[in-house]
């Protein structure tokens, strides 16, 4: 990576904090790669991100086999066709995943997800969370490393 494109860690965390959508990359025990886009929220006090998923599926199988993951968030991106370049801000982190246990903790994290991604949608929020709770897992990714990169004219 060009040193001129690296961003200070504080800025990388800012992009992570403001983002809502990223790509989770993982691999099975045998090395089979898998990447999946998903929404998430960041909890600064824990230096962790959280997301929800179904209780069964490829993503969860892979995370149970190998909890080492990578996660990418692209903040700002803009194609500049006449110059054949793309301006962007991006963050990549590595971490370890774990499943959130317990009804109270899962409920807390689903509330945080709703507050992060749909803060105005409160009318049926508690009802929907209660209904969906048995059908979802909450995954925590403890951030081990984070770096940011940007390409700008300035």
Name residue 92's beta-bridge partners.
Answer: 72, 147
Name the average pLDDT for the chain: 88
Sequence ranges of the domains in the chain: 3-151
Q: Which residues of the chain have pLDDT under 70?
A: 1-4, 77-88, 152-154
Per-residue pLDDT, 77: 65
Each residue's pLDDT tens digit, 16-40: 999 989 999 999 999 999 999 999 9
Per-residue pLDDT, 1: 46
Domain 3-151 fold is: Pnp Oxidase; Chain A (2.30.110)
């Amino acid at each position: 990576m060009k040193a001129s494109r690296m961003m200070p860690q504080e800025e990388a965390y800012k992009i992570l904090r403001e983002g809502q959508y990223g790509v989770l990359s993982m691999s099975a025990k045998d090395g089979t790669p898998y990447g999946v886009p998903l929404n998430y929220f960041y909890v600064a006090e824990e230096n962790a991100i959280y997301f929800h998923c179904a209780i069964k599926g490829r993503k969860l199988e892979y995370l149970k086999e190998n909890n080492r993951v990578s996660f990418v968030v692209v903040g700002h991106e803009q194609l500049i066709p006449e110059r054949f370049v793309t301006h962007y801000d991006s963050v990549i982190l590595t971490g370890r995943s774990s499943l959130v246990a317990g009804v109270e903790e899962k409920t807390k994290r689903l509330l945080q997800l709703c507050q992060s991604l749909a803060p105005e949608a409160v009318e049926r929020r508690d009802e929907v969370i209660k209904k969906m709770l048995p059908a979802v897992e909450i995954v925590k990714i403890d951030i081990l490393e984070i770096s940011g990169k940007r390409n700008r004219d300035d």
